[in-house]
Amino acid sequence: MRSTILSVGTEILFGEIVNTNTVFLSQQLQQLGIDVMYHHTVGDNSGRLADLIKLCFEDCDLVITTGGLGPTQDDLTKETACRVLGDELVLHQPSMDALEARFQKFGRPMTENNRKQAYLPSKSTAFPNDCGTAPGFALEVDGKCIICLPGPPHEMKDMWEKQAKPFLEKKADAVIFSKMIRTFGIGESALETAILDLVDGQTDPTLATYAKNGQCSLRIASKRKTREEAEAAVAEMLVKVQERVGEYIYSTEDEELFDVLGKKLLENNISIACAESCTGGLFAGGLTDIPGISQVFDRGIVTYTNRAKMEELGVKGETLETYDAVSEQTAKEMAAGLQKKTGCRLCLSVTGNAGPGGGTEERPVGLMFIGAAFDGKLVCRRLDPRGRDRSGNRRWAVLNMCELALRLLEGRE
Amino acid sequence: MRSTILSVGTEILFGEIVNTNTVFLSQQLQQLGIDVMYHHTVGDNSGRLADLIKLCFEDCDLVITTGGLGPTQDDLTKETACRVLGDELVLHQPSMDALEARFQKFGRPMTENNRKQAYLPSKSTAFPNDCGTAPGFALEVDGKCIICLPGPPHEMKDMWEKQAKPFLEKKADAVIFSKMIRTFGIGESALETAILDLVDGQTDPTLATYAKNGQCSLRIASKRKTREEAEAAVAEMLVKVQERVGEYIYSTEDEELFDVLGKKLLENNISIACAESCTGGLFAGGLTDIPGISQVFDRGIVTYTNRAKMEELGVKGETLETYDAVSEQTAKEMAAGLQKKTGCRLCLSVTGNAGPGGGTEERPVGLMFIGAAFDGKLVCRRLDPRGRDRSGNRRWAVLNMCELALRLLEGRE
C-alpha cells in the first residue's frame, strides 16, 4: 500500500509549530509495512486542500490527514474530503452523544459550532476521540481510503492507537510485528557486521539498524498471517541477536536508558545520589523526570568549582593539584566522597571538559571521566573526545552514567 | 511572492528525523514577507521530485529545497532542478577550489564522487558552503526561482543567513526589519489588550503576539524602502510598547531567559548557586549549558529528600514538619542555607510537587515555591497549579527561577 501524510494547518506553514505528527505517523506506517511516499502540508484553505488530496490519490491508495477537524470556520478537512470522494456529511448520533457528555462533564456550555463536529461522512467509519471533542474517521470510496485524524498530538496518537492502526491492520492481508532493540557501546557498522549472517539471505524477519546520538538500535520485524506467528518469528530472531550482541543490549522494548535505569532502581529499591561537574545537573534532571523516583533518589550535587568538589564531596586538594579536576582520580574521589556523605548504595560522578574552551593537549575538550561507587566497588570509565560540541559532550556523559550504572546493577561491570 | 518549501530525503519519509529545516525556513520566509503556501517532502527519487517541483511552480514563484546535494548517487536535487528548469550542470571552479582546500585542511583524500558537488547549474548564482562540502545555489529561469540548500541543519542555516536571505532581500522591492520582544508574566490576551490601540488601524509596523510554554512574544515588523527606515519605525514602536508592558519584557533580541540571566551574571561577575527539589537539577543543567558560566556558577544541589534538605542546606526539621517541604518557609530556608554554605551572592531555591502523584487539597500537584537570597534580601515566589503535566511543571519552575533572578539583579524585585 502507498500512502501520503497530509497535514492541514496554517500555523504549520508559519513555522509556529514543529510537525511531530508526521514523524510519528511515518514511523507507524512504516511498521505496518505501508510505504510513505510524500508528506504535504497545506493551510486552512479548502481549494488547495482539495487539489492536494486529488494529487495524493493519483499516486497513493491511502491518505492520512491531521488537523482541521475542529469546530471553527477554518476547520475544513471533513467537508473537503467529502467533496473530493463524493460523499456528504450526516449527523453521527454516537459522536453527538459523546460530545454532549463531554461538555456536561467539564461543565462548559456547548455552542452551536461544536455540534458541527458530530457530523461525519455518510459512508465513513467513525473514530471516537477519547482525548478531545473532534471525532475522526476513515472514508473508503472506490479503493481510495482517506483517514482524518485531529491535529493536537495527544489526541492524534490516542486515536491512532485505538482506531486507525487496528483499522489498517484489519485491511492488511498480513500482520507485522516488530521489536526495537536498543544497544549502547557498539557502533552501527560493528553491529551490522556482528549480525551480517542473520541479515544475508533473510527475507523474514527483517533486521534494520538505526544510529542516533551515539546509540544504535535494531529493529526486528516479521510479516506473517497471524500476530502469533509474527511474534514467534521475532522472538526466535531475538535469541540469535542476543547470542551475538547481547552484551550491548539494554532494552528489547525500545526504552530510553533513563527509564531502564529508573525501573531497575525502583524495583530493587536501590538508593542513588550523583555528583556532576561538566554535565551540570543534567543527569539528576533526567533521572528526576521519572515519576516516583523520589523513593530512591536522595540527592544530586553539581560541583562546578574545585572548592565545591572539596567542600561537598571531600575531594582532596592534593588530588586536584596532582591529577587535575579532569581525571580518573578526581572522578573516583567524587563518587566515594558522595557515598561516604549520603550512604546511598549507588553513587555516580562525572568530571570533564565539555568545551568549547579550556582544552589542552593533555586534556582536550570532550575528555570526561565517569565514576561509580556501588556495593564496595569503585570504578571509573574514561570517555575520549569524538568531536562533539558542548551539548553533545554533556549528553554523551549522561548516557554513559546511565549505562555504567545499569552494568553495575546487573553485575556486568 | 508565493513560495513552497520542498524537503528531499527518504529518511524524512521514514520518520527517522524531525524536519526542523522546514520550521526554520517558514519563519524566515514569513519575516521576509514571502508567503509560504505548501511544505512538501519527497524521497530520493528523481521522477517524483521533478513532478513536485513542476507542481510547486504552478502556484508559486519561489521553491526552496533542502537536501539531496551530497556526493552520493541518491543525491539528485541539482540534476532534477536543472532538468525541470532547462539548464545543465557545469563545473564551478571556485566551488572545486573550496572543496579541494577543505579536504586538504582535514587531511582526507577526495574521492571522485566528491567532485560532483562542484558542478552547478550554468545559469545559477552559487552559494558557498562554509560548514560542509556541498555548495547551494539559486537558479532563476523565466520568473521562476529555485533555491537549493543542503540538508544538514547547521549547513542549511549558515547558508541561509549568509547567502539565500541576502539574495532574496535584494530581489524584494522593500526591506523587512523585525524584532522579537520576549515577555514573561503576562498572558497573551492581557498583552494584546495592553497594545490594542497600537495594533488598531496600524498597517506598518505590524505587531503580532505568539504564546508558547507560558511565555508570550511580540514581533514588531516594518516593511520600508530601506533598512534604515524599517529599523527606525520598529525602534519607535518599541518605545511605545515598552511604555505599556516594559515591566514584563526581558529581551528585545529574542533571547532565552537562561541566556539573558547568564549574560547578566557574567557581565557583573555575580557568583551563583542553586538548590533544587522538584526540578531535580534542570535549572543547574540549563544554566551550565552556557559556555564560560563556570566563572560565576559555584555549585548546585539537588535536595530531593527531606534529609538532604536538612543535611545540605540546614533546613530545620521543625520547618519541614510545621510547614511541609512544599512551603514558602522551606524555600526561603533552602536559599538562605545555601548562601550561608557557599557564600555566593545569588542563591536560588525551588521546592514543590511536580506530579503526577502526591497531590493533596492543601498542596496540589503544580504548587511550587521559588526562593532567592541576594544582597541581604530573602524573597519567595509562589507558583500555583495551572494544569500542567510533570515536565511542564518542572519547566515552568525553572523559567520562574530565571526570571525572579533577573528581577533581583536588575533591582526590580
Tell me, what's the ipTM? 0.79
Q: Which residues, at least 6 apart from A223, have a Cβ–Cβ distance to it below 8 Å? A: A33, A174, A175, A176, A204, A230
Quick check: B371 and B335 in contact, CB under 8 A? Answer: yes
For testing contact with chain B, the best of A14, A28, A265, A302 (most B CBs within 10 A): A302
User: Residue A165: its pLDDT value, please?
Assistant: 96
Q: What's residue A268's pLDDT?
A: 97
Distance separating alpha carbons of residues A170 and A227, to the nearest angstrom: 12
pLDDT of residue A298: 95
Task: Spell out which residues of chain A touch residue B37, defining contact as CB-CB under 8 Å.
Answer: 13, 42-43, 48
Chain A residues inside the 8 Å CB shell of B305: 294, 297-299
**Residue-level pLDDT at B144:** 95
CB A86 within 8 A of CB A59: no
pLDDT at residue A121 in the model: 97
Each residue's pLDDT tens digit, B2-12:
999 999 998 89
Nearest-angstrom CA–CA distance, A43 and A323 = 60
Contacts of A39 in chain B (CB under 8 A): 7, 12-13, 19, 39-41
Beta carbons of A291 and B357 less than 8 Å apart: yes
CA angle B258, A391, A319 (to 5 degrees): 100
What pLDDT sits at residue B227?
Answer: 87
* Beta bridge partner(s), residue A369: A351, A382
Q: Could B283 and A288 be called an inter-chain contact, meaning their C-beta atoms sit closer than 8 Å?
A: no
User: What's the rounded Cα separation, in Å, for the pair B282 and B275?
Assistant: 11
Residue with the bigger pLDDT between B15 and A327: it is A327
Check pLDDT > 80 for residue B173.
no
The pLDDT value given to residue B338: 98
Task: Give the pLDDT confidence score for residue A215 in this predicted structure.
Answer: 87
Is a pLDDT exceeding 90 seen at residue B113?
Answer: no
Q: Does B304 contact A292 at a Cβ distance shorter than 8 Å?
A: no
pLDDT > 90 fraction of chain B, expressed in percent and rounded: 75
**Interface contact flag, B312 A301, Cβ < 8 Å:** yes
Cβ pair B280:A276 closer than 8 A: no
Query: Stretch B54-70: mean pLDDT, rounded?
Result: 94
Least confident of A74-78, A235-239, B60-64, B256-260: A74-78
What's the pLDDT at A67? 94
Specify whether the CB–CB gap between B13 and A36 falls below 8 A. Answer: yes
Contact at CB, B291 and A15, closer than 8 angstroms: no
Q: Pick from A39, A42, A299: which is nearest to B12 by CB?
A: A39
* Contact between B285 and A304 using a beta-carbon 8 Å cutoff: no
pLDDT confidence of residue B389: 87
What is the number of other CB atoms lying within 10 angstroms of the CB of residue A158? Answer: 18
Contacts of B279 in chain A (CB under 8 A): 285, 288
| Subunit contact B23:A39, Cβ cutoff 8 A | no
Q: B298 CA to chain A: closest CA distance, Å?
A: 6
- The reported pLDDT for the residue numbered A132 is 87
| Contact: A288, B280; criterion CB under 8 Å | yes
CA pair distance B216, B210, nearest whole angstrom? 6
pLDDT at B190: 87
Mean pLDDT of B120-137: 95
- CB–CB of B40/B6 below 8 Å? yes
Tally A–B CB contacts below 8 A. 199
Facing residue for B298 by CB, picked from A17, A38, A308: A308
* pLDDT averages per 10-residue partition of chain A, 413 residues: 94 89 94 92 92 94 95 87 96 94 82 88 96 94 96 94 94 84 90 88 84 84 90 96 96 95 97 97 96 94 95 97 97 98 97 91 94 98 90 95 97 88
The pLDDT value recorded for residue B214 is 76
Q: Would you state the pLDDT for residue A110?
A: 81
- List CB contacts of A158: < 8 A, sequence separation 6 or more: A129, A130, A131
- Residues from chain A that touch B13, judged by Cβ atoms under 8 A, are 26, 36-39
Instruction: Choose among A38, A280, A297: nearest Cβ to B42.
Output: A38
Residue among A244, A224, A220 at smallest CA distance from A234: A220
How much is the average pLDDT of B385-393?
Answer: 88
For the ranges B60-64, B66-70, B160-164, the lowest mean pLDDT is seen at: B66-70
| Nearest chain A Cα distance for residue B80, angstroms | 17
